[in-house]
Amino acid sequence: MLAGTVDYFSFWYEGEEKEGFIRQLIPLEYERLMGLPEGWTAYGNKEKAITDHARYKSLGNSIAVPCAEYIMASIAETL
């Protein structure tokens, strides 16, 4: 997922690979993939709702939480 564009993700049902289709993941699915709580990017300043496009962009500019935890734990263990 790139921050500058909203790209589509390939998706197939098992056993129906020949009839696969492309669908766009919803922001909630991206949040789950990134290890964030559901709805983490749904609201901004003063509880104002954020557009899906802005949510995709912010998630594309982020780092996966489990990855960051792993790296920081390794640094702490080394120190």
Chain length of the chain: 79
- Give residue 38's Cα distance to chain centre: 11
What three-state secondary structure class fits 4? coil
Q: Which two tokens stand for residue 64?
A: 């996966």
Name the CA dihedral angle for 40, 11, 2, 46, rounded to a multiple of 10 degrees. -20
Beta bridge partners of 71: none
- Whole-model pTM above 0.85? no
Rounded Cα distance, 8 and 1, in Å: 9
pLDDT digit of tens for each residue in the chain (79 aa)? 444 445 555 556 666 656 656 667 889 999 998 999 999 999 988 999 999 999 999 898 888 999 999 999 999 999 9
